[in-house]
Amino acid sequence: MAHLAKTIRKRMFGGDSAWAYAFIAVALVVFALFTAYPVINAFMISFQDYKPLGSTYIGIDNYINSLNDALFWKSVKNTIVYTVLTVPVSLLLSFAIAILILPLRKWMQTMFKAVYYLPAVASGVALSVVWLWIFDPLQSGIMNQLVGFFGGSNQNWLGTSATSMFSLVFMAWLSSHGTSIIIYLAALLGIDNSYYEAAELDGASFMQKIRFIVLPFLKPTTLFLLVTGIIGSFQVFQNAYLMTGGGPDNATTMVGLLIFNNAFKYFEFGEASAQALVLTLIIAVISFVQFKFLGNDVEY
């Protein structure tokens, strides 16, 4: 028995195993400090009237207040509208661009990947400043110049409820798709050429190859990008904060911006934590539904 225990200890902690545990421990410490601890702390704060010098336990009042808050549900509606309008278009554009890049030579693929990925490494603030200039309500704004070319009048794109959400959606459509393009391109390069050769022997057209070869093989990639895209869209904050501040009349207030305002503008940390956890639950349910109904035949 003692010999068996010694053998197990040697296999678990001897040789390279000790180094493996050491490297895993670093990742676990980082995860515990910067992910697990904030989540647990937010959960505890959500049941408190949080004050830096003395909090009061108030049960589920923060959750009740959030669920009875009309602005919270309006922000959820705005976030859903933004997600529905941006994520599918983003996937379609990324897929189309990846298909167009695929037949090119290696150096041209690299060049296009670098060009499309460049906005992802640029400062979000700098990009927002550029877009503020594009949506400038004066005649100098590019959008107003474009509308004027077709005979339209100047629009206050970010300053009216009718156009502010469209402006953020339009910005998302034309913003960075570099990561999705690179992932789609990697998945396309992973498809064996023998499938295309067999399809050509059968006289398949370009669209038939897309439908019967490319789309089935790219289903795991599309599901991954769809899930991560929806999660990222539900957490959108930067664009609304920098471009409109949530206005006008809260027409572009997203859930992420509402949580930020409650926490750092009105110092309602308890209610902000409750809303953040409700948002987490909504994202978890949507992700579960996607995997349940779209991922049954997907293998990774």
- Both tokens of 289, joined, read 């539904």
Domain annotation covers residue 51: no
- Co-location of 161 and 23 in the same domain: no
Residue 275's nearest CA partner among 79, 59, 40, 62 is 62
> pLDDT class for 188, splitting at 50, 70, 90?
very high
What range does the domain containing 107 cover? 66-295
- Do 214 and 115 lie in one domain? The reply is yes
**pLDDT > 60? residue 300:** no
Q: pLDDT (tens digit, 9 = 90+) per residue, 115-150? A: 888 887 777 888 888 899 999 888 888 889 988 888
Same domain, yes or no, for 26 and 145? Answer: no
Rounded Cα distance between 3 and 242, Å, is: 65
The enclosing domain of 268 has a CATH number of 1.10.3720.10
Same domain, 21 and 110: no
Per-residue pLDDT at 294: 77
Structural domain contains residue 8:
yes
Closest C-alpha to 270, from 19, 44, 16, 18? 44
Same domain for 84 and 227? yes
Rounded distance between C-alpha atoms, residue 211 and residue 85, angstroms: 24
pLDDT in tens, 61-79: 999 999 999 999 999 999 9
pLDDT at 4: 66
Q: How confident is the model at residue 151 (pLDDT cuts 50, 70, 90)?
A: confident
Q: Are the C-beta atoms of 221 and 213 separated by less than 8 Å?
A: no
